[in-house]
Amino acid sequence: MTGESTVKLTLALKDPDLEEDRLDRKTRNLLRDIKDLDGVEQAGLVSPEEMPEGAKAFGGTLIGILTAEVSLQNIKALLGFVGDRLGDKPIEIELEANGKKLKIKASSKQELVAANEEIVKPFFASLAC
């Protein structure tokens, strides 16, 4: 990792209309694309040992959950990318930086954009203080 500040994200895709194997494929496809983005230092699927309450495992990983570590300056681009890819599907995102955590839930791209403006930007501004 570089000396630049990074943010750890946990993305949980919440699509009740998808069967487990399709949600797993969608998560893996999103992960592959996230790994190719600028500023993403590492990304991966979450193992069952790291299982949050209520999560389900499939094929040795958790269904619909991935993590990424991204440079602070590229967080907005990553959130925009995720919003574009998921459209109007529910998502839960947990952000962690400098020992502080923030959880957001969005059910559409518009909600994710609004959360970025109203919650995420002030969160990162507070980290600079």
Name the DSSP letter for residue 47: P
Question: Amino acid letter at 20?
Answer: E
Res 104 pLDDT > 70: yes
pTM of the model: 0.80
pLDDT of residue 4: 65
Res 1 pLDDT > 50: no
Cα separation, 62 vs 121, in Å, equals 29
For the record, the structure tokens of 21 come out as 């194997």
pLDDT of residue 123: 83
* 3-state per-residue secondary structure call for 65-104: EEEEEEEHHHHHHHHHHHHHHHCCCCEEEEEEECCEEEEE
Token pair 């993403």 is at which residue? 40
List C-alpha distances in Å: 81 to 52, 63, 74. 25, 20, 11
pLDDT digits (tens, 9 = 90+) for 5-38: 889 999 999 888 888 889 889 999 999 999 999 8
| CA-wise closest residue to 102 among 90, 111, 93 | 93
pLDDT of residue 11: 92
pLDDT digits (tens, 9 = 90+) for 37-85: 989 999 999 876 555 555 554 454 567 889 999 988 888 888 889 888 8
Pairing state between β 40-45 and 65-71: antiparallel
pLDDT of residue 54: 53
| CB-CB contact of 96 with 70 (8 Å) | no
Q: How confident is the model at residue 2 (pLDDT cuts 50, 70, 90)?
A: very low
Count other C-beta atoms under 10 Å from residue 41's C-beta.
15
